[in-house]
């Protein structure tokens, strides 16, 4: 190639790569396959290496990060970066609107003169300013104290949603774009998953992950953490006539290829603001990024100017906050509970805290590794999170708040798993490759006995109404029930001796126990509480074998013929039935006719017979149960985790690690539209 041809090619490649970046990162709508993108990037890198004079500061090859800095340089902001006042209720929003109307001399006017507001999400990230000169990115800085921030340009260059050159032929002489750097939830989940796999400490939330990534002195590290950016305003502008409203400015920024939130709107008056707040709140848990409120801005710039500022916040804008999904509280203790399979679960007992709409008093730490990874200690201040309907969790502790015993030793001791079962004193054991530590005493451990009986009686198992945990506790502690089979031998006299057990309730319980006999085989198998055997596997086993005898006599190899039963599940089933104690309990239950064997059934005919689906994330329209019902109605099955046997993964918003696994295993992934298409046409869209 001649020099001129190489220069043309380099500039063409830069354009193609930035186009692809824009489609992928700003619009979430990839235009070319990854391999093609990689090929173009490599070609440009090679060209620039051979001809260093072709390298420009806005080249996409510069997004991989540079060497470490000693420190960030200070940047004085041309236009200060202010903060927003907050509103937490409709009353406070109405007061804000009233102040705006008064400030504009419009109080007392009629409905048609309601104030027009530009409304948008309040992104939960970090404020950033980006400076473009003649369309080229020259510098970016954090907010700092509002007057002076830190120059994080090298890190910002690695964020592919941030254009290194503005689109359009007529760029302004100077344009400062203000916005928020954040991490999308899917990238956060992936980052934490990777940290977890490597045994490293995880980030507590996407905001912390974004902050930690942006403040790296070595931008090569930032380049590895996928950060994102949304603009929400402008700072200094030279050489261009601005439109009359904020919403038009946002539209203009979008034409320059600045990422702007799709969720932005223009509304009128308090009712418009409140309707937007509600609608955005309903979407909150399914948005790809965290928000902590909505921001309302008087739309006309001339009005904004008239209203001006009070101290460090504008009078023309306000942040309307949602109730916090994260709160701080203290760990008062860590209890260790023993479950049905003997697994020891550390549970943090918390100083009650109101978060995500409920009062939380305890949260599971799952197992030894989780407790250690989160390094939660008695006395610690921790972050508790409850988002949507998700079970509250301790996301992490704040070690910097730990009081110190001396200069080097914190007062709070790390959590250690007890060496013996807290319920029965038997030794505990953690097998290699397992995350659970278990009591080795099996059903001789009263805690396991209680849990086994409770599970047996539970609604989806034998469904014995009225047999709750308080009763089971007494039955086991008094030696009245050692196994589920003993329930059927209970008499009125024994029950009448229990606490809070009137004659009538005893009679009701006995008839509920009697009524639980003759349950279908699948329920009975599930009720046995075999490890790894959930409701679906129990159904599969009943359908495949038809009789309990046949399952009892099956070898691990025979069990492998059951759809979706893998080696681990097969081994667990075979081991359960080999155990003489279990055989004795089953014989006793056979004598009372606890179950009826069913005929082995063929797989129901259906277009998706033999196909396994995994559902993950929230679909926009279908509930999980609706999607499951559609799959099962056509003979398909829904599995809980992704494996080589999975045929399709149906992914909605906030899909989590199942999606990552599906991508790794190259399993076909469907969104809701593709899923519905599949059920309509019998094959996925191509
Ligand atoms: S406007 C003059 N719009 O909230 C006001 N800020 O407390 C400039 N933020 O530091 C801010 N989303 O980082 C604005 N849509 C949005 C926002 C937003 C998040 C942050 C911003 C700022 C803080 C103000």
DSSP-derived secondary structure for 253-322: HHHTT--B-TT-EEEEHHHHHHHHHHHHHHHGGGSSS-EEEEEEEESBHHHHHHH-EETTEESSEEEEEP
Q: What is the pLDDT of residue 108?
A: 67
Residues 308, 109 contacting (CB under 8 angstroms)? no
Number of the ligand 1 atom closest to the C-alpha atom of 86: 7
Alpha-carbon distance of 160 to 465, in angstroms, equals: 58
What whole-number distance in Å separates Cα of residue 204 and Cα of residue 518? 49
CATH classification of the domain holding 652 = 3.40.50.10190
Question: Which residues face 295 on adjacent strands?
Answer: 120, 319
Q: How far, in Å, from the CA of 222 to the mean position of ligand 1?
A: 23
Q: Model confidence over 27-59: pLDDT tens digits?
A: 877 778 878 888 899 999 999 999 999 988 888
Profile the chain (686 residues) by mean pLDDT over runs of 10 residues.
86 91 81 83 92 88 80 92 92 96 81 86 96 96 92 95 93 97 94 86 87 92 94 97 97 96 96 96 91 97 94 92 89 95 95 89 93 91 83 88 88 93 93 91 90 94 93 94 94 88 90 93 95 91 94 92 89 92 93 86 72 90 86 86 91 86 90 90 82
CB of 617 closer than 6 A to ligand 1?
no
Instruction: Please check whether residues 367 and 463 belong to one and the same domain.
Output: no
For residue 76, is it within any domain? no
Whole-number pLDDT of residue 112: 58
Atom of ligand 1 nearest to the CA of 314: 2
Residue 87: which residues within 8 A CB-CB, separation 6 or more? 93, 95, 96, 318, 319, 320, 321
| Ligand 1 site-directed mutation target among 81, 123, 284, 290, most atoms within 8 Å of CB | 123
Rounded to the nearest angstrom, the distance between the alpha carbon of 107 and the centre of ligand 1 is 27
Ligand 1 proximity of 524 Cβ (cutoff 6 Å):
no
**CB of 207 shorter than 6 A to ligand 1:** no
The pLDDT value given to residue 110:
60
Ligand 1 lined by 308 (C-beta under 6 Å): no
* Look-up of token digits 């086994």: 452
pLDDT of residue 602: 54
- pLDDT at res. 291: 94
Q: Are 152 and 72 in contact, with CB atoms under 8 Å apart?
A: yes
Residue 431 domain flag: no
Ligand 1 in contact with 586 (CB < 6 A)? no
| One domain, residues 163 and 187 | yes
103 lines ligand 1 (CB under 6 A): no
- At 400 the three-state DSSP class reads helix
pLDDT digits (tens, 9 = 90+) for 292-333: 999 999 999 999 999 999 878 999 999 999 988 888 999 999
Tokens of 68: 């470490």
How high is the mean pLDDT of the chain? 91
Instruction: Tell me, yes or no, whether 281 lies in a domain.
Output: yes
Distances (CA, A) of 538 to 526, 544, 587, 648: 5, 10, 19, 22
User: Is there a single domain that holds both residue 246 and residue 135?
Assistant: yes
> Is any ligand 1 atom within 6 A of the Cβ of residue 211?
no
Q: pTM higher than 0.85 for the full model? A: no
Where does residue 585 rank: exposed (0-12), middle (13-18), buried (19+ CB within 10 A)? Answer: buried
Same domain? 280 vs 143: yes
Catalytic residue positions? 122
Residue whose CB lies within 8 A of the most ligand 1 atoms, among 141, 180, 299, for a mutation test: 180
To which H or E segment does residue 520 belong?
strand 519-520
182 and 224 co-located in one domain? yes
Looking at the fold, whether 485 and 566 belong to one and the same domain comes out as no
Q: Which residue's C-alpha comes closest to atom 23 of ligand 1?
A: 83
CATH classification of the domain holding 360: 2.40.50.140
144 C-beta closer than 6 A to ligand 1: no
Q: pLDDT tens across 596-612, in order? A: 998 666 556 788 888 99
Residue 419 lies in a domain: no
DSSP string for residues in 402-467: PPBSSSS-BSSPPP---SB-TTT--BEE--TT-S--EETTGGGSHHHHHHHHHHHHSTTTT--TT-
Q: Is 104 inside any structural domain?
A: no
Whole-number pLDDT of residue 559: 94
What is the per-residue pLDDT for 1? 67
Same domain, 304 and 341: no
Residue 53: which CATH number? 1.10.287.610
Please name which of 318, 258, 421, 372 lies closest in space to residue 98, comparing C-alpha atoms. 318
DSSP string, 68-133: BPSSPPEEE-SS------EE-SHHHHHHHHHHHHHHTT-TT--GGGPPEEEEEEEESSEEEEEEEE
Considering the domain architecture, whether residues 262 and 389 belong to the same structural domain is answered as no
Q: Please work out whether the CB of residue 313 comes within 6 Å of at least one atom of ligand 1.
A: no
Do 297 and 315 lie in one domain? The reply is yes
CA pair distance 505, 524, nearest whole angstrom: 25
Distance 486 CA to ligand 1 centre (A): 64
* Rounded distance between C-alpha atoms, residue 554 and residue 581, angstroms: 18
> Looking at 601, 620, 654, which one is the last position of a domain?
601
Widest CA span in the chain? 102
d(CA 483, CA 457) in angstroms, rounded, equals 11
In a domain, 469, yes or no: yes
Pick the atom of ligand 1 nearest to 261's CA: 15
- Looking at 304, 321, 338, the residue that finishes a domain is 321
Does one domain contain both 177 and 272? Answer: yes
What range does the domain containing 453 cover?
442-518
Give me the number of domains the chain comprises. 6
Compute, in angstroms, the gap from residue 196 CA to the centroid of ligand 1. 32
Atom of ligand 1 nearest to the CA of 122: 12
Do residues 44 and 136 share a domain? no
**Confidence (pLDDT) at 79:** 92
| Listed residues 321, 355, 372: the one ending a domain | 321
CATH number for the domain spanning 512: value is 1.10.150.20
Quick check: 308 and 315 in contact, CB under 8 A?
yes
Same domain for 160 and 235?
yes
Mention every residue, 6+ apart, whose C-beta is less than 8 A from residue 342.
421, 438, 439, 440, 441, 442, 445, 448
């Amino acid at each position: 190639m001649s020099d001129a041809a190489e220069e043309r090619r380099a500039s063409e490649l830069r354009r193609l790569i930035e186009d692809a970046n824009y489609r992928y990162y700003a619009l979430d709508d990839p235009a070319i396959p990854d391999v093609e993108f990689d090929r173009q990037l490599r070609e440009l890198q090679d060209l620039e290496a051979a001809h260093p004079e072709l390298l420009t500061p806005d080249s996409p090859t510069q997004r991989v990060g540079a060497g470490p800095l000693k420190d960030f340089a200070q940047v004085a902001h041309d236009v200060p970066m202010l903060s927003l006042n907050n509103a937490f209720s409709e009353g406070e929003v109405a007061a804000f609107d009233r102040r705006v109307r008064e400030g504009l001399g419009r109080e007392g006017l009629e409905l048609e003169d309601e104030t027009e507001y530009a409304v948008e999400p309040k992104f939960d990230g970090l404020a950033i300013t980006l400076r473009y000169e003649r369309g080229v990115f020259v510098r970016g800085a954090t907010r700092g104290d509002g007057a002076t921030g830190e120059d994080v340009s090298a890190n910002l260059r690695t964020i592919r949603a941030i254009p290194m050159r503005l689109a359009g032929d007529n760029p302004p002489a100077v344009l400062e774009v203000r916005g928020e750097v954040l991490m999308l939830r899917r990238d956060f989940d992936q980052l934490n998953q990777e940290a977890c796999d490597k045994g490293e400490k995880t980030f507590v939330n996407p905001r912390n992950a974004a902050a930690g990534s942006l403040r790296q002195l070595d931008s090569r590290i930032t380049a590895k953490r996928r950060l994102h950016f949304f603009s929400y305003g402008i700072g200094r502008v030279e050489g261009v006539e601005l439109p009359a409203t904020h919403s038009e400015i946002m539209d203009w920024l979008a034409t320059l290829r600045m990422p702007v939130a799709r969720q932005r709107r223009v509304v009128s008056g308090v009712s418009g603001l409140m309707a937007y707040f509600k609608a955005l709140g309903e979407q909150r848990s399914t948005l790809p990024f965290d928000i902590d409120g909505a921001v309302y801005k008087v739309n006309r710039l001339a009005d904004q100017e008239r209203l001006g500022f009070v101290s460090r916040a504008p009078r023309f804008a306000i942040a309307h906050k949602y109730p916090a999904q994260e709160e701080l509280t203290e760990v008062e203790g860590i209890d260790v509970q023993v479950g049905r399979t003997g697994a020891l679960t550390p549970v943090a007992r918390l100083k009650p805290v109101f978060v995500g709409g409920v009062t939380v008093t305890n949260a599971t730490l799952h197992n030894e590794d989780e407790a250690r990874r989160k390094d939660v200690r008695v006395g610690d201040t921790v972050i508790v999170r409850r988002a949507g309907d998700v079970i509250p969790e301790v996301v992490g502790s704040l070690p910097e708040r730990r009081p110190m015993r001396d200069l080097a030793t914190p007062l709070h001791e790390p959590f250690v798993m007890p060496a013996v079962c807290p319920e029965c004193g038997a030794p505990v054991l953690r097998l290699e490759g397992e995350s659970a530590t278990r009591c080795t005493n099996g059903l001789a451990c009263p805690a396991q006995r209680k849990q086994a009986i409770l599970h047996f009686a539970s609604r989806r198992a034998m469904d014995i109404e009225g047999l709750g945990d308080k009763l089971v506790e007494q039955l086991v502690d008094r030696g009245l029930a050692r196994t589920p089979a003993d329930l059927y031998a209970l008499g009125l006299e024994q029950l009448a001796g229990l606490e809070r057990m009137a004659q009538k309730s005893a009679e009701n319980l006995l008839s509920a126990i009697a009524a639980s006999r003759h349950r279908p085989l699948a329920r009975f198998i599930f009720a046995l509480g075999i490890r790894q055997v959930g409701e679906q596997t129990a159904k599969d086993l009943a359908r495949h074998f038809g009789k309990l005898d046949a399952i009892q006599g099956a070898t691990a190899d025979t069990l492998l013929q059951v759809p979706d039963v893998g080696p681990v599940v097969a081994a667990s089933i075979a081991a359960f039935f080999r155990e003489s104690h279990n055989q004795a309990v089953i014989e006793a239950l056979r004598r009372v006719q606890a179950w009826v064997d069913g005929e082995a059934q063929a797989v129901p005919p259906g277009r998706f017979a033999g196909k396994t689906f995994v559902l993950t994330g929230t679909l926009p329209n279908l509930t999980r149960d609706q999607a499951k019902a559609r799959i099962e109605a056509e003979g398909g099955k829904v599995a809980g985790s992704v494996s080589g046997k999975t045929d399709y993964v149906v992914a909605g918003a906030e899909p989590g690690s199942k999606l990552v696994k599906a991508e790794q295993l190259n399993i076909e992934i469907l969104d809701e539209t593709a899923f519905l298409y599949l059920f309509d046409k019998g094959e996925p869209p191509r």
